[in-house]
Amino acid sequence: MNSSILRTMARLLASLLLMASLYLLWRGHNAPGGGFAGGIMAAAAFVLVAVAFEPMAGWRATRVSPLVLIPLGLAIALASAFAGAAAGDGFMAGQWISVDVGGEEVKLGTPLLFDVGVYLVVIGVALAVIIPLMGEEE
């Protein structure tokens, strides 16, 4: 698509969408959101770039190839699952630590890490399917 308006807006919108997707991922454990919804929203951001510029631009925008994101996400999810086993609580048992951020207590745990894995897999999957479909006519 050759539209300079869309191109200008796409940069802005894509970064906003990415930030929103990260926010969804972060707050997922306590409010609507999570790795899946966040991942799809992030994928939408990259697809927007692909639509506005050219398909491979959306592919490159992830920096790490979507084909690598999939196994990377799986590895992260698996690692979080083994953390429980390593701590002796059994496979997939959640492990939590509390971090003090500016006087406010923030709980970080392996479920969040697991969600990060889901997030990355979803981005990789969506892009690995959509972008080649777009790029076929080249």
Partner 1 sequence: MGLALALAGVFGTVPVAAALPGRWWRGAALALVPAGVFVYLLTLLERARDGDPLTWSIEWVPALGIALAFRADGLALLFGLLIAGIGALVLVYAEAYMAGKAGAGRLEATLLAFMGAMLGVVFADDVVTLFVAWELTSITSFLLISFEQEKLKARKAAVQALLVTGAGGLALLAGLVVLGQAAGTYRISEMQAEAVAASSLANGAMVLVLLGAFTKSAQVPFHFWLPGAMAAPTPVSAYLHSATMVKAGVYLLARLNPVLGDLDGWRPAVTAAGAATLAVGAFVALHEEDLKRILAYTTVGALGLLTMLIGLGSELALKAAMVFVVGHALYKGALFMTAGTIDHGTGTRMVGELGGLRRAMPWTFGAVAAGAVGLAGFGPVLSFIGKEAALEAGLEEAGAAGAWAVAALVVSGSLFTAAGVVLLRPFFGAERAPHAPHEGSAGLLAGPLVLGALSIGLALAPGVIEGRLIAPAAAAAAGEPVKVSLKLWHGFNAALGLSAASVAAGIGAGLGAPRLTRPTARLMGARWFPSGPKVYDWLYYGMQRAARFHTVWMQRGYLRGYIGAVLLTSVVLVAAALVRWGGSLEREWTEPAFYEAVAAATVIAGATAAIVHMSRLAAVTALGAVGFGVAIIYALFGGPDLALTQIVMETLSVMLFVLVFYRLPKLVERGPLPRRLRDGAIALTVGVTMSVLVLASLGHRDGEPISRYFGETAYVEAFGRNVVNVILVDFRALDTLGEIVVLGTAALGVYALLRVRRGQR
Residues near partner 1 (CB under 8 A): 24, 28-37, 40-41, 43-44, 47, 67, 70-71, 73-74, 77-78, 81, 92, 94, 96, 107, 109, 111-112, 114-115, 117-118, 121-122, 124-126, 128-130, 132-134, 136
Shorter beta-carbon distance to partner 1: residue 7 or 26: 26
C-alpha angle 31-35-37 in degrees, rounded to nearest 5: 75
Q: How many residues does the structure list for the chain?
A: 138
Distance of alpha carbon 105 from alpha carbon 44, whole angstroms: 33
Q: How far is the CB of 87 from partner 1 (least distance, A)?
A: 15
Least distance from partner 1 to the Cβ atom of residue 75, Å: 11
Q: Which residues contact 76 (CB under 8 A, 6 or more apart)?
A: 113, 114, 116, 117, 120
Taking the complex as a whole, the smallest distance from the CB of residue 100 to partner 1 amounts, in Å, to 16
Q: Is 102 left (phi over 0), alpha (psi -120 to 50) or beta?
A: left
**Least distance to partner 1, CB of residue 131, Å:** 9
